Structure 1
């Protein structure tokens, strides 16, 4: 029997272009739950940061801040605009690889996704929505 989580991961694997670059975790970091990333426009990054109880690895380039979250942190969740969710922490066409601007203590790279989601909703003036239709 195949569960819904397995089907979602298989579908994402089919859509992920192999030529894209991926955010690399710092040496010594492990990702036991896999890695995805949430990108926000650079001006929002400093506004989100103080609203979080824990901050994982954060990367930045001139245009975006990228927050590492556990895989499938978009499951039944619609991230507020203008945030972009990246399954597998793959970078879209970007001129350069973002720099690591925050590394948490310990070996786990994640920013907790629910506090990040709520912080993004707050700074964008978006009402949180907790569910969305799921298609397989």
Structure 2
């Protein structure tokens, strides 16, 4: 972010619903809200930055890594009228593929974070929701079989 700010860009780092550092209620507000209320937090931040005169509505870009990369893809897919450009740095875009291919030693740690917040691909109903969220990032289920 400093690199962009150093080159004259206004940079806004958003603590969207589900972020840590603001208590359990704030983290819990992100459960099941990938591409939902978590995305709304980003849109609210952009709207405020534009309203305050910090940003030009036609020149807003979104950048992120990991979940932030996914959020970048969702931003330009769901709300292309808000974001003129996006940078996805190692973002997760196919949740089912990601969750099924993590190393075995990582899988026990998925229960309290990814399975809780996004869903468990071993449950057919949750798997369908994960594929729907992946499509929001531009992926299709058939591309990952």
TM-score band (shorter)? Answer: under 0.3
- Structure having the higher helix fraction is 2
Bigger RCO (CA 8 Å, 6+ sep) = 1
Which entry has the higher C-alpha Rg, 1 or 2? 2
When the two structures are superposed, what TM-score results if normalisation uses the length of structure 2?
0.23
